[in-house]
Copies of this chain bind each other. A is one copy, B any other.
């Protein structure tokens, strides 16, 4: 468990250098382009247009469209994991920790970075080689973080279920939203996290009686 000072408010880490700030802006723009056109459908020319940078200017920040997608994925997963760790610092109850994971995910991906959710979910398997491996490692860390929270709850309450299936079902509930969420119709992140948390927690807690 991660311990440390209480941090009620969790700001996005501010990019430090001018290069980082520029890159961060480019990643935002590029995410929007991939969201609209899909990764395959987007060209470096499209990216050049929306960022206002020349192709040569873009290549100063990354070598290829693959590397750009890798940077995007690394950026979002790094920040969401970072926020999660801060958020978990002052939560001790194991059920609340699972709820904190869900809320963190929805707040970050639904409220603040909706377009990124689609890009990250949909372009899940595009990257191969070492770029793919870097992203996979980060995703695995994120998955493992969730899995440990669920496993702790499971041990504590003497529950019996397949943790892998349960956790990946939870990720399914959280990630599938990019296909259906309508801000005008559906509850905001907090209410959504509550309902998904209700279903998931009551769902796994029932397992002790069933097996």
Which residues from B are CB-within-8-Å of A205?
A: 202
Contact with B along A166-210 (1 / 0, CB 8 A): 101101111111011000011100001001101111111111001
Q: What is the bound-complex CA distance between A35 and B206, given in angstroms?
A: 37
B203 touches A199 (CB 8 A): yes
Which residues from B are CB-within-8-Å of A199?
A: 166, 169, 199-200, 203-204
A102-140: which residues lie under 8 A (CB-CB) from chain B? 122, 124-125
Q: A162-B195, A187-B165, A202-B203 are in contact. Are A179 and B40 (CB under 8 A)?
A: no
User: A166 → chain B, closest Cβ, in Å?
Assistant: 7
A161 at interface by CB-CB < 8 Å: yes
A22 at interface by CB-CB < 8 Å: no
Q: What is the bound-complex CA distance between A187 and B165, given in angstroms?
A: 9
Interface centre among A161, A164, A198, by most chain B C-beta atoms within 10 angstroms, is A198
Contact of A169 among B196, B206, B210 (CB under 8 A): B196
Contact with B along A80-96 (1 / 0, CB 8 A): 00000000000000000
Count of chain copies: 2
Chain B residue at smallest Cβ distance from A172: B176
A41 at interface by CB-CB < 8 Å: yes
Q: What is the bound-complex CA distance between A203 and B199, given in angstroms?
A: 4
A38 at interface by CB-CB < 8 Å: yes
Which residues from B are CB-within-8-Å of A210?
A: 198
Which residues from B are CB-within-8-Å of A203?
A: 198-203
Which residues from B are CB-within-8-Å of A202?
A: 202-203, 205-207
Top 3 A-B pairs, shortest CB-CB distance? A172-B176, A199-B203, A202-B206
18 A-B pairs (CB sep. < 8 Å): A40-B40, A124-B179, A125-B179, A161-B198, A164-B186, A165-B187, A168-B180, A169-B196, A171-B180, A172-B172, A172-B176, A173-B173, A198-B206, A199-B199, A199-B203, A199-B204, A201-B203, A202-B202
